[in-house]
Structure 1
Amino acid sequence: MSVTTGIAQMNESNVVPVLSVVVPTYNEQAVLAEFHGRLARVMTALGATWEVIYVDDGSRDATPALLRALRAADTHVAVVSLSRNFGKEAATTAGLDHAHGDAVIVIDCDLQDPPEVIPDLVAAWRRGVDMVYATRRERQGETWLKKATAALFYRLINRVAQVEVPPDTGDFRLMSRRVADAVRALREHNRFMKGIFAWVGFPSESVLYDRAGRHAGISKWGWWKLWNLALEGLTSNTVMPLKIATYLGLIVAGFATFYLAEVLLRTLLFGNPVAGYPSLMVVVLFLGGAQLIILGVMGEYLSRIFTETKRRPIYLVENYAPPRPADANGSPAP
Structure 2
Amino acid sequence: MKQVAIIIPSHNEAENVPLIYQAVQTAFADIDGYAPLFWYINDGSTDTTLSAVQTLQTTDPDVHYIDFSRSFGKEAGMYAGLSTAKADLYVIMDADLQDPPSMLPEMIQNIESGYEMVGAARVDRTGEPWLRSFFSNMFYKLINRISQTQIVPGARDFRVMTPKVVAAILDMSERNRFSKGIFGWVGFKTKYLPYANVERQHGETSWSFTSLFRYSIDGIIDFSDAPLTFVSWLGGISAVLSLFALIFIIIRAAIFGDPTAGWPSMVSIFLFIGGLQLLAIGVLGRYIGRIYLEVKHRPIYIAREIK
Question: When the two structures are superposed, what TM-score results if normalisation uses the length of structure 2?
Answer: 0.95
Q: Which residue of 1 aligns with 2:150?
A: 164
Q: Which residue of 2 aligns with 1:126?
A: 112
CA distance in 2, matches of 1:195, 1:207: 18
Q: Which residue of 2 aligns with 1:111?
A: 97
Q: Which residue of 2 aligns with 1:324?
A: none
Please state how far the C-alpha of 1:299 moved relative to its aligned partner. Answer: 0.7
Q: Which residue of 2 aligns with 1:267?
A: 253
* 2:1 paired with 1:34: no
Report SS of the residue matched to 1:122.
Answer: helix
Deviations for 1:11-48, whole angstroms, at most 9, x for unmatched residues?
xxxxx843111100011012222121111111233131
After TM superposition, the structure 1 = structure 2 runs for residues 76-155 of structure 1, keeping only pairs within 5 Å, are 76-155=62-141
Bigger relative contact order, structure 1 or 2 (CA pairs below 8 A, ≥6 apart): 1
- Partner AA of 1:125 in structure 2: I
CA distance in 2, matches of 1:254, 1:310: 40
Q: Which residue of 2 aligns with 1:9?
A: none
CA distance in 1, matches of 2:265, 2:255: 21
Give % identity. 35
- Partner AA of 1:81 in structure 2: D
Deviations for 1:84-116, whole angstroms, at most 9, x for unmatched residues?
110100011001012222221110011111111
* 2:1 paired with 1:43: no
Mark the runs of 5 or more structure 1 residues left unpaired by the alignment: 1-15, 322-334
Given candidates 5, 15, 18, the residue that maps to 2:3 is: 18
Please state how far the C-alpha of 1:49 moved relative to its aligned partner. Answer: 2.6
Please state how far the C-alpha of 1:268 moved relative to its aligned partner. Answer: 2.8
Please state how far the C-alpha of 1:138 moved relative to its aligned partner. Answer: 2.3
Report SS of the residue matched to 1:228.
Answer: helix
Please state how far the C-alpha of 1:304 moved relative to its aligned partner. Answer: 0.6
Q: Which residue of 1 aligns with 2:216?
A: 230
Q: Which residue of 2 aligns with 1:62?
A: 48
CA distance in 1, matches of 2:262, 2:207: 49
Whether the 8 Å CA contact 2:25–2:36 is kept in 1: the answer is no
How many residue pairs end up in the alignment?
A: 306
CA distance in 2, matches of 1:73, 1:303: 46
CA distance in 1, matches of 2:189, 2:128: 31
CA distance in 1, matches of 2:57, 2:143: 40
After TM superposition, the structure 1 = structure 2 runs for residues 190-229 of structure 1, keeping only pairs within 5 Å, are 190-229=176-215
Please state how far the C-alpha of 1:141 moved relative to its aligned partner. Answer: 1.6
Cα RMSD (Å) of the superposition? 1.5
Report SS of the residue matched to 1:45.
Answer: coil
CA distance in 2, matches of 1:112, 1:237: 26
Q: 1:19 to 1:276 in 2, by over 3 A?
A: same
CA distance in 2, matches of 1:219, 1:141: 13
CA distance in 2, matches of 1:269, 1:160: 47
CA distance in 1, matches of 2:261, 2:283: 33
Q: Which residue of 2 aligns with 1:247?
A: 233
Please state how far the C-alpha of 1:197 moved relative to its aligned partner. Answer: 0.7
Please state how far the C-alpha of 1:250 moved relative to its aligned partner. Answer: 0.6
- Partner AA of 1:35 in structure 2: I
Report SS of the residue matched to 1:219.
Answer: coil
Whether the 8 Å CA contact 1:17–1:51 is kept in 2: the answer is no
CA distance in 1, matches of 2:165, 2:272: 48
Whether the 8 Å CA contact 2:132–2:209 is kept in 1: the answer is no
Report SS of the residue matched to 2:65.
Answer: strand
Report SS of the residue matched to 1:49.
Answer: strand
Whether the 8 Å CA contact 2:16–2:202 is kept in 1: the answer is yes
Please state how far the C-alpha of 1:276 moved relative to its aligned partner. Answer: 6.5
Please state how far the C-alpha of 1:231 moved relative to its aligned partner. Answer: 1.3
Please state how far the C-alpha of 1:59 moved relative to its aligned partner. Answer: 0.9
Please state how far the C-alpha of 1:313 moved relative to its aligned partner. Answer: 1.2
Whether the 8 Å CA contact 2:242–2:269 is kept in 1: the answer is no
Given candidates 266, 280, 303, the residue that maps to 1:294 is: 280
Q: 1:129 to 1:275 in 2, by over 3 A?
A: farther
CA distance in 2, matches of 1:275, 1:72: 84
- Partner AA of 2:18 in structure 1: A
Question: When the two structures are superposed, what TM-score results if normalisation uses the length of structure 1?
Answer: 0.88
Report SS of the residue matched to 1:211.
Answer: coil
Q: Which residue of 1 aligns with 2:294?
A: 308
Report SS of the residue matched to 1:135.
Answer: strand
Deviations for 1:297-324, whole angstroms, at most 9, x for unmatched residues?
0110111111000011111111111xxx
